[in-house]
Amino acid sequence: MLQESKVYYMNTSQQSCYKNVLIPKWHDIWTQIQIRVNSSKLVRVTQVENEEKLKELEQFSIWNFFSSFLKEKLNDTYVNVGLYSTKTCLKVEILEEDTKYSVIVTRRFDPKLFLIFLLGLILFFCGDLLSRSQIFYYSTGMSVGIVASLLIIIFMLSKFMPKKSPIYIILVGGWSFSLYLIQLVFKNLQEIWRCYWQYLLSYVLAVGFMSFAVCYKYGPLENERSINLLTWTLQLMGLCFMYSGIQIPHIALAIIIIALCTKSLEYPIHWLYITYRKMCNATEKTVPPRLLTEEEYRIQGEVETRKALEKLREYCNSPDCSAWKTVSRIQSPKRFADFVEGSFHLTPNEVSVHEQEYGLESIIAQDELYEETSSEEEDSDSRYPPITQQNSLLT
C-alpha cells in the first residue's frame, strides 16, 4: 500500500496499490493525484482498478499477451488517480536486470487543469469574436496543419482512391497509426527537441508556411451561417474544456449552468439596465440650464467667431477649395483675397455701423426709447391695467 509524499525505492517487479481516503472539497477542483514511477532503465507500468485485476494480470491470456507488447516502456511514468476513486493499483515490470526505480504518490495543484478551464472560458464567452477574427483563423489553420499533417495527407489521398477499394483498409490503419504517432510525439516532445531540434524547426516552418498558404487561398469565413456554426463549435468545445478542467463533477456542472445562464441573460440584463436608467432619469427633477450673462454671451460670440474664421482661412488655403469657382461667386474678390492672407474680415465702415447699432450709442438709444414708452403707458386708459402691466414687463 502506497502512502502520499513517501518515496518507495525498489529493484524488482512489484505490485502496489493506493487507497484514497480523503473526501474531495470545493478547493480541490484543480487538485491532481499522481503516482510517479521513475526508473534508471525502461520499465512497463500497468494500471488497474483493484487487487482482483492484478491477479487477472498474473494469469495467462491472449489479450494480456498482446497488450503487453502495445504498452509503452518508459523511464518516467505518471499515473493519474481520480479524486473519487477509492483504490488504484499498478504493476511495475522490470525488463532489464539491475534496474532501480522509485514510486511516489503526490497530491498537488495542477496548473494544466487551470489552463484547460481558462481556455474553456475564453472559447465559450469569446467564441463569437474568435470566429470572426482573422488572426484566430490563420493561427488555428497553421496549428492544425502542423499537428495533424499526417492526418491531412491521408484524408487527401482518400479523395483520389476509388470507391469500394481494399485500399481503404490501409487508410483506416494509417489514420490509427497517425493518431498513435501524434500521441507519441507529444509525450516525447522535450526529448525530440533536445536531440533533433533542427529537423523539428524545419518541419514547423515548412508545414506552417504551407498551412498559411492554404488558409490564405480560401480566406476567412464570410458566410454568416458558417460563422455561426464555427461559433457554436467553439462554445461547445469551451464547455467540454471547462468540464474536463475541473476535478469535481457537480461543481463543473454548476459552473457550466452558470456560464450558460450568464450568456443567455446577457441581452435581457442589458435591456433591463437601460430601462432602469430611463425610469431613473424620468423620476429625477430636471434642473433648468443656467443662462449666460451678457458678458459671457459676448465673449463666447467673439471666441467662436474667431475659431470659425480661422477654419474658413484654412479651408480656403487647402487644395480642397476651388479658388476660381469661389472667386466667380463673390462680389469682392480682392477683399476675399485679403481675408485669406490674414486681414480683418470687416471694413472700418462696417465696424462703425455695428458700434452704432450694438455699441454704447445703441444702449443709450434703447434706454431713451424705454423711458418714452413707460411715460406713454402711465397716461393710457385705466380700463386696461392688467394689459398695461403685462406690456411693461414684456418691454
Cα–Cα distance for residue pair 179/191, rounded to 1 Å: 19
Strand, coil or helix: what is 381? coil
Q: What is the pLDDT of residue 72?
A: 57
Q: How far is CA 208 from the centre of its chain?
A: 24
In this structure, the chain runs to a length of 395
Q: What is the pLDDT of residue 64?
A: 54
- Residue 277 C-alpha cell reads as 436608467
Q: Are 35 and 79 in contact (CB under 8 A)?
A: yes
What is residue 248's DSSP assignment?
A: S
Q: What is the pLDDT of residue 176?
A: 63
**What is the pLDDT tens value at each position of the chain, 395 positions in all?**
888 888 888 888 888 888 888 888 888 888 888 888 888 878 888 878 777 776 766 665 555 555 555 555 567 788 888 888 888 888 888 877 788 888 888 888 888 899 999 999 999 988 888 888 888 888 888 888 887 776 666 666 666 655 555 555 555 555 566 666 666 676 667 777 888 888 888 888 888 888 889 888 888 888 888 888 989 999 999 999 999 999 888 899 999 998 888 877 766 677 777 888 878 777 766 667 778 888 888 888 888 888 888 888 888 888 888 777 777 787 777 887 887 787 777 777 777 776 777 654 444 444 544 454 455 455 544 444 443 333 333 33
Q: How far is CA 75 from CA 41, 72, 94, 149, 192, in A?
A: 6, 10, 11, 29, 15
Contacts of 89 (CB under 8 A, 6+ apart): 15, 16, 17, 18, 47, 48, 49, 50, 51, 53, 54
Q: What is the pLDDT of residue 237?
A: 92
Q: What is the pLDDT of residue 243?
A: 92
Strand, coil or helix: what is 38? strand
**Which amino acid is residue 220, in one-letter code?**
P
- Residue 101 C-alpha cell reads as 526505480
Q: Are 256 and 240 in contact (CB under 8 A)?
A: no
Cα–Cα distance for residue pair 143/316, rounded to 1 Å: 56
- What is the reported pTM? 0.55
Q: Are 52 and 27 in contact (CB under 8 A)?
A: no
Q: What is the pLDDT of residue 118?
A: 93
Residue 362, CA atoms < 13 Å, CB-side half-sphere? 8
- How far is the first Cα of the chain from the last one, in angstroms, to the nearest whole number? 106
Q: What is the pLDDT of residue 294?
A: 82
